[in-house]
C-alpha cells in the first residue's frame, strides 16, 4: 500500500514539475503554439496583424504579455483572447457583411479551457465546428460578429451556460430562433443577433430569459407578433428592419426597466397602446417606432413621467396623429433627438412652439414632410440654440430668410428645401455658420447672387437648385473651395461662361450640377481634377469639346445634353474606365463613335438627337448597360450586335438607317422592358420568339437602374444622414400617339415594343399574344399580312395597340373586346372586313380607329352575332363553332321536315299534284 502511495506522490510531483516547466515562461507552450498558428493564418488571408495590435505576437516567449491576451494569475492559462482588428471601420464592416475569405475551425479554441472572453469579431472567416467551444464552461463573453457562422445558430450554444454576452451580428445566418439552445442561457444579459437572415416568429422563451437586459434582433426577416410580458426586466429592445406585423402590445411600454426601444422599419400597424392614464417606464430614454403603419393618436403628455427621455423617432407613420402642443405643460425631460418626419403632425408645432421652446439641449430636429404652415421659425436659430441637425424640408413655410441668418456655432446640417421661403444668402454666411457641412435650400424662391464668402466655409454639400439665383458663379467655388464635395445650382437663371473658364477643380470636388441655366461657351481646355459627376445639360454651350474632358480619370457620370455642342467624339473617351452614365443627346455631334479596345463599364448611354453615323462599335457592347438610346441619328448596319447587351432593359434605336432582319437572337434579351426600333429599314418577318420576352419588372430594377451617390453623416449615424444621388434624366418613348419621358421607375408605368415604320412583312406571330404584361405595342406602317391573332386578347395590361398602315385582312377578333385597359387602338388602313366591334373597349373608339378598311361595316344587333357575357360578336376569321353546329342542325331539321310535309301530309301531296 505504501509502495503505491509513494509512486502516486512521485507521479504528482512529476506532473507538477512538468506544468511548471511548460509554464515557466509565463505561457503554456501548447497555447502559445495555437496562437502562433492562428496569427500565421490571419496574415496569410489578408489580416495584416504585423502592423496592427498583434505586432507584439511572437515577441518573447510569454504570450500572456502579447496584446489581446490576458492570463489567469493563479493558473497561468489564457482567460481573455481578443483577436479582433483594432480601429474597425463600421462602413467597411457592413460592406463586407457575410463575406468569407478564409476558414477557421472553432475547435482550435478548445485548447483554452479557462477562457472567459473570446472576441474574433471582424475576421470575415467561415466558422466551422461550433461544438469545439462546448468545453469552455467558464466562457462569459463571446463575440463572433461579422464572420460567417455556417449552418446558423447551433443548438449546442445552450451548453455554454456561463455566457453573459453573445454577439453574432453580421453573420448572415438563416433559420429560426425556436430550435436554438438560447433559452437555456439563464445568465445571458446581452444578445446581439442583428444583421442576419433569421426568419420565423419570435419565441416567447427568448424574452423570458431571467437576466436579459439587451436584445438586438434588428435587420432580419422575422415576422409575427412580439410575445413580451410586462414582468420581464428587459433594458434594451431592438427589433428594427424586420417584417414584424400586428399591433404593438401594451406590455412593451409597461416594461419597468426599459431604457431603449427600437421597433422601426417593420410592418406594425394599429394604435399605439397608450392613453392618458398610461405611464411609460421612468427609465425610458429612446423610443424609435419609425417606418411602420401605426395609426391613432400619440400624445406627448403620455411621456410626462419619462424624465430620462432623450430620443423620439415616430417618422414615416403617415396615419399616426402626433399631438405635441399642450398649453401650459412643461415636460420633465430634455430631448436631444426628435424625428417626426412624415407624420400627421400637430400643425401648431411651429406656429406656437410651446413644447420646442422648453427643449434646451435639442441637437437633432426633423419635422420634414408634414405640410406645416406658418413663417420660418427664426427662433430655432437663436444664439442659445444647440441644434446640430435641422430638417424642415417639404412643408409650406413662408417668409424671408433674413431673420434666420444668426450666428450658430453648433449647426452642421440645414435642410429647408421644398418650401416657399424668400430672401437672399448673406454675404458673410461662412461666419454665421462656421461648422456648417450641409446646406440645402433648394426648391424655394430665394434670389440674388451667390456670395463668394461661401468659399471660406466648411460646407461639403451645397444645394441651391430650383431657386431664382442670377448672375455669375464665383470661380472659387470650383477651384478654392477645398471643403466642398457636391455643388448643386440646377434650375436657376445663372449665366456667364461655363465653369467661369477655370480648368483645375479643387481636390475634394466630387460633383457639379449646373444644368438648366444660361451658361455659354464651351468647356475650358486642360481640365484636371478628380471630379466624378458633371451635369451641364440644358444650357447654351457651343463649339467643340476640349479633348481634356475625356482624360478626367475619376469621371463616372457626364451629361451634356440639350446644348449646341458640335464636332466629333474624341477617342480619348476610351480611357474613362469608370464611366457609368453618359448623356450626349440633343446636340450636333457628327462622325463615328470611337471603337475602344476595352469595353467601358457603361450602364446608361444616350447619344440620341445628333448626326452620328457608321456601324455601332464595341463601344456599345458593355454587358453592364441597362439603357441604350441611339435614336434620331444616322447609324447603319444590322442589329446582330444587340444580342450581347445581356443586362439591357431599355433599347431605343428609332429613326436611324438600320437594315436587315430582326434576328431571333434579339429574344435572348430577357431583361428587356422597352424596345423601339421604329423608323428604320428593317425587313423580313417578326420572329415568333419575341412573344417569349417577359417584358415585366424584375425585382432588382429599382437597384439596377444606374445611379451614383454620396452619403454624409453628422453625429448620430441613424439621425444625421444625408444622401445625394444622381440618376440620368431618363429616356423618351412614344405611346398613345405622344412622347413621354420615363426615369428610374419606368417599369411601374411602361413596357412596350415599337416596330413601326419599317418594311416588315409576313404574318403577325400568334406568340406575341403571350406578352401579357405589355402596355404598348406598335406595329404600324409595315407590310404585315394575314389575320390579327386572336391571342392578342391575352394582352391583359395593354393600353395602346396600333396595327394601322399594314395589309391585314379578315375580321377584328372578338377576343380583343376583353382588353379592358385599352385606351388607344387603331387598325386603320388595312384590308379588314366584317362588323365593327360594338362591345368592350373597342366599342368606345371613334371612326378614326377603323378608317381605310373598305369592307368594315357597322352591324345591327339582328345581323351582328353577339357572344355571351358581354363580349363582342364573332369575327369571320374566328367564328364560334357552336353557332355553326346549331345552324347546320337547324338546316337539316328544316329540310327533312319539309320533305316529310310534302310527301306524307295530304295537303302537301295536293300541292305537289297541282304543280
Q: How many CB atoms lie within 10 A of CB 729?
A: 19
Q: What is the DSSP letter of 522?
A: -
Q: Looking at residues 497-515, what average pLDDT do you find?
A: 90
- Is residue 316 a contact partner of residue 340, using CB atoms and an 8 Å limit? no
Per-residue confidence (pLDDT) for residue 325, from 0 to 100: 67
> Residue 723 pLDDT > 90, yes or no?
no
Task: Compute the average pLDDT of residues 363-391.
Answer: 87
Summarize pLDDT for 546-581 with one digit per residue, the tens: 999 988 999 999 999 999 999 999 999 989 999 999
Q: What is the pLDDT of residue 96?
A: 55
Q: What is the model's pLDDT at position 207?
A: 82
721 vs 219, residue with greater confidence? 219
Q: Which cell goes with 249?
A: 402590445
Determine the pLDDT at residue 563: 97
Query: Contact at 8 Å (CB) between 876 and 833?
Result: yes
Residue 129: band (very low, low, confident or very high) from pLDDT cuts 50, 70, 90: confident
Q: For the residues 741-764, what does the mean pLDDT come to?
A: 87
Higher pLDDT: 488 or 384? It is 488
pLDDT surpassing 60 at residue 89: no
> CA-to-CA distance for 185 and 212, rounded, in angstroms?
9
Give me the pLDDT at residue 94, please: 58
Is the dihedral angle over the CA atoms 165, 168, 169, 175 positive or is it negative?
Answer: negative
Residue 596 pLDDT? 84
Task: Tell me phi and psi for residue 184, to 5 degrees.
Answer: -90, -5
- Please give the model's pTM, rounded to 2 decimal places: 0.81
Query: Which pLDDT score is estimated for 55?
Result: 66
Cα(804)–Cα(751) distance, integer angstroms: 20
**Residue 275 pLDDT level (bands cut at 50, 70, 90):** low
DSSP run (H or E) holding 43: helix 29-44
**Do residues 446 and 424 touch, judged by C-beta distance below 8 A?**
yes
- Output the pLDDT for position 875: 35
Q: What is the pLDDT, as a whole number, of residue 683?
A: 96
N-to-C CA span, the chain? 149
Instruction: Report the distance separating Cα 100 and Cα 98, nearest Å.
Output: 6
CA distance 234 to 281: 11
- At residue 722, the pLDDT reads 77
Question: For position 747, what pLDDT does the model report?
Answer: 65
Let me know: does 234 contact 209? Beta carbons within 8 Å: no
Query: Cα dihedral sign for 780, 786, 788, 791?
Result: negative
User: Quick check: 899 pLDDT over 60?
Assistant: no
Work out the mean pLDDT of the chain and round it to a whole number. 83
| Domains detected in the chain | 571-857 (3.80.10.10)
Residue given cell 457608321 in the structure block: 614
Residue 689, SS3 per DSSP: helix
Residue listed under C-alpha cell 437672399: 424
pLDDT of residue 502: 87
Contact between 237 and 215 (Cβ < 8 Å): yes
Q: In the structure, what pLDDT confidence band is assigned to residue 93 with cuts at 50, 70 and 90?
A: low
Q: Is 566 exposed, middle or buried (0-12, 13-18, 19+ CB in 10 A)?
A: middle
DSSP 283-308: T--EEE--SSEEEEEEEGGGGTT-TT
Looking at residue 895, what is its pLDDT? 52
Average pLDDT over residues 456-471: 95
Grade residue 281 by pLDDT with cuts at 50, 70 and 90: low
pLDDT at 675 exceeding the cut of 90: yes
What single-letter DSSP state applies at residue 841? G
Strand partners, 448: 469
The pLDDT assigned to 768 comes to 95
- Among candidate residues 523, 560, 558, the one with its CA nearest the CA of residue 544: 523
pLDDT-derived band at 232 (thresholds 50, 70, 90) equals: confident
Does the pLDDT value for residue 383 go beyond 50? yes
User: What percentage of the chain carries pLDDT values higher than 90?
Assistant: 43
pLDDT 10s digits, 194-216: 989 899 988 888 888 888 889 99
Residue 2: per-residue pLDDT: 45
Q: What is the pLDDT of residues 338-354, one digit of tens each?
A: 999 999 888 888 877 67
Average pLDDT over residues 648-670: 93
Q: Which residue has the cell 483594432?
A: 86
Query: CB of 443 within 8 A of CB of 418?
Result: yes
Cβ pair 574, 596 in contact under 8 A: yes
- Give, as one character, the DSSP assignment of residue 914: H
Query: For the chain, what is the radius of gyration of the CA atoms?
Result: 37
pLDDT of residue 381: 80
3-class secondary-structure state, position 515: coil
| Sequence-distant (≥ 6) Cβ neighbours of residue 490 within 8 angstroms | 465, 466, 513, 514, 515, 516, 517, 535
Among 764, 747, 751, 771, which residue's Cα sits nearest to residue 662?
764
Q: What phi and psi, each to the nearest 5 degrees, are found at residue 82?
A: -115, 105
Amino acid at each position: 500500500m505504501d509502495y503505491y502511495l509513494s509512486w502516486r506522490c512521485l507521479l504528482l510531483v512529476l506532473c507538477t514539475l512538468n506544468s511548471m516547466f511548460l509554464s515557466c515562461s509565463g505561457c503554456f507552450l501548447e497555447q502559445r503554439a495555437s496562437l502562433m498558428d492562428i496569427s500565421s493564418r490571419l496574415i496569410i488571408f489578408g489580416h495584416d496583424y504585423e502592423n496592427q495590435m498583434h505586432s507584439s505576437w511572437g515577441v518573447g516567449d510569454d504570450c500572456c504579455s502579447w496584446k489581446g491576451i490576458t492570463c489567469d494569475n493563479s493558473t497561468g492559462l489564457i482567460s481573455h483572447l481578443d483577436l479582433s482588428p483594432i480601429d474597425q471601420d463600421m462602413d467597411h464592416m457592413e460592406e463586407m457583411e457575410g463575406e468569407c475569405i478564409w476558414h477557421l475551425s472553432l475547435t482550435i479554441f478548445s485548447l483554452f479551457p479557462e477562457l472567459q472572453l473570446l472576441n474574433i469579431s471582424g475576421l470575415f472567416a467561415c466558422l466551422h465546428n461550433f461544438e469545439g467551444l462546448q468545453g469552455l464552461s467558464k466562457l462569459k463573453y463571446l463575440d463572433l460578429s461579422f464572420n460567417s457562422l455556417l449552418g446558423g445558430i447551433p443548438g449546442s450554444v445552450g451548453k455554454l451556460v456561463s455566457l453573459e454576452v453573445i454577439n453574432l451580428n453580421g453573420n448572415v445566418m438563416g433559420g429560426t430562433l425556436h430550435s436554438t439552445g438560447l433559452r437555456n442561457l439563464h445568465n445571458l444579459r446581452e444578445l446581439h443577433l442583428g444583421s442576419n437572415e433569421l426568419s420565423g416568429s419570435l419565441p416567447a422563451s427568448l424574452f423570458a430569459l431571467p437576466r436579459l437586459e439587451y436584445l438586438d434582433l434588428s435587420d432580419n426577416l422575422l415576422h409575427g407578433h412580439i410575445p413580451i410580458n410586462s414582468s420581464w426586466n428587459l433594458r434594451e429592445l431592438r427589433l428594427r428592419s424586420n417584417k414584424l406585423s400586428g399591433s404593438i402590445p401594451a406590455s412593451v411600454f409597461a416594461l419597468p426597466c426599459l431604457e431603449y426601444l427600437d421597433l422601426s422599419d417593420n410592418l406594425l400597424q394599429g394604435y399605439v397602446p397608450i392613453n392618458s392614464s398610461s405611464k411609460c417606464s421612468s427609465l425610458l430614454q429612446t423610443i424609435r417606432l419609425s417606418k411602420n403603419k401605426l395609426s391613432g393618436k400619440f400624445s406627448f403628455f403620455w411621456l410626462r413621467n419619462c424624465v430620462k427621455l432623450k430620443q423620439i423617432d415616430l417618422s414615416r407613420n403617415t396615419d399616426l396623429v402626433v399631438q405635441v402642443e399642450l398649453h401650459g405643460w412643461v415636460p420633465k425631460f430634455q430631448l436631444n433627438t426628435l424625428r417626426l418626419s412624415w407624420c400627421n403632425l400637430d400643425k401648431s408645432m411651429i406656429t406656437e412652439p410651446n413644447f420646442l421652446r422648453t427643449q434646451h439641449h435639442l441637437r437633432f430636429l426633423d419635422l420634414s414632410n408634414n405640410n406645416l404652415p406658418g413663417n420660418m421659425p427664426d427662433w430655432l436659430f437663436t444664439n442659445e440654440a444647440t441644434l446640430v441637425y435641422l430638417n424642415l424640408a417639404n412643408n409650406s413655410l413662408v417668409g424671408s430668410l433674413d431673420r434666420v441668418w444668426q450666428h450658430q456655432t453648433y449647426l452642421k446640417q440645414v435642410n429647408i428645401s421644398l418650401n416657399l421661403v424668400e430672401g437672399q444668402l448673406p454675404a458673410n454666411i461662412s461666419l454665421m455658420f462656421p461648422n456648417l457641412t450641409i446646406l440645402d435650400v433648394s426648391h424655394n424662391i430665394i434670389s440674388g447672387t451667390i456670395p463668394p464668402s461661401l468659399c471660406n466655409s466648411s460646407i461639403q454639400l451645397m444645394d441651391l437648385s430650383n431657386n431664382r439665383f442670377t448672375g455669375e458663379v464665383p470661380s472659387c467655388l470650383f477651384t478654392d473651395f477645398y471643403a466642398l464635395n457636391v455643388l448643386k445650382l440646377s434650375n436657376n437663371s445663372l449665366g456667364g461662361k461655363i465653369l467661369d473658364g477655370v480648368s483645375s477643380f479643387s481636390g475634394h470636388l466630387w460633383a457639379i450640377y449646373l444644368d438648366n441655366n444660361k451658361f455659354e461657351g464651351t468647356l475650358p481646355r486642360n481640365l484636371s481634377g478628380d471630379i466624378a459627376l458633371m451635369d451641364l445639360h440644358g444650357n447654351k454651350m457651343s463649339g467643340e469639346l476640349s479633348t481634356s474632358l475625356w482624360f478626367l480619370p475619376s469621371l463616372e457620370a457626364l451629361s451634356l445634353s440639350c446644348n449646341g455642342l458640335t464636332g466629333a467624339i474624341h477617342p480619348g473617351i476610351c480611357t474613362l474606365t469608370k464611366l457609368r452614365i453618359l448623356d450626349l443627346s440633343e446636340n450636333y455631334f457628327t462622325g463615328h463613335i470611337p471603337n475602344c479596345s476595352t469595353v467601358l463599364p457603361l450602364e446608361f448611354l444616350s447619344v440620341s438627337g445628333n448626326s452620328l453615323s457608321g456601324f455601332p462599335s464595341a463601344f456599345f457592347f458593355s454587358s453592364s448597360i441597362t439603357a441604350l438610346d441611339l435614336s434620331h441619328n444616322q447609324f447603319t448596319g444590322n442589329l446582330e450586335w444587340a444580342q450581347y447587351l445581356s443586362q439591357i432593359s431599355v433599347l431605343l434605336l428609332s429613326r436611324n438607317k438600320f437594315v436587315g432582319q430582326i434576328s431571333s437572337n434579339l429574344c435572348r434579351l430577357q431583361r428587356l422592358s422597352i424596345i423601339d426600333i421604329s423608323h428604320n429599314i428593317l425587313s423580313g418577318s417578326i420572329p415568333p420568339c419575341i412573344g417569349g420576352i417577359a417584358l415585366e419588372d424584375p425585382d432588382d430594377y429599382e437597384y439596377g437602374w444606374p445611379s451614383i451617390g454620396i452619403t454624409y453623416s453628422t453625429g448620430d449615424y441613424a439621425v444625421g444622414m444625408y444622401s445625394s444621388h444622381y440618376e440620368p434624366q431618363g429616356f423618351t418613348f412614344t405611346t398613345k400617339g405622344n412622347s413621354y419621358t420615363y426615369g428610374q421607375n419606368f417599369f411601374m408605368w411602361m413596357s412596350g415594343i415599337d416596330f413601326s415604320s419599317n418594311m416588315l412583312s409576313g404574318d403577325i406571330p400568334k406568340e406575341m399574344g403571350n406578352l401579357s404584361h405589355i402596355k404598348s405595342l406598335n406595329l404600324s406602317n409595315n407590310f404585315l399580312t394575314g389575320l390579327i391573332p386572336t391571342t392578342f386578347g391575352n394582352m391583359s395590361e395593354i393600353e395602346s395597340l396600333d396595327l394601322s398602315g399594314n395589309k391585314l385582312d379578315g375580321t377584328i377578333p372578338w377576343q380583343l373586346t376583353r382588353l379592358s385597359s385599352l385606351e388607344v387602338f387603331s387598325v386603320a388602313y388595312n384590308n379588314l372586313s366584317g362588323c365593327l366591334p360594338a362591345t368592350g373597349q373597342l366599342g368606345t373608339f371613334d371612326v378614326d380607329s377603323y378608317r381605310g378598311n373598305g369592307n368594315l361595316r357597322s352591324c345591327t344587333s339582328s345581323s351582328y352575332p353577339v357572344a355571351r357575357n358581354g363580349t363582342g360578336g364573332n369575327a369571320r376569321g374566328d367564328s364560334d363553332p357552336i353557332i355553326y353546329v346549331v345552324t347546320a342542325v337547324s338546316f337539316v331539321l328544316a329540310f327533312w321536315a319539309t320533305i316529310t310535309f310534302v310527301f306524307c301530309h295530304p295537303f302537301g301531296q295536293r300541292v305537289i299534284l297541282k304543280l
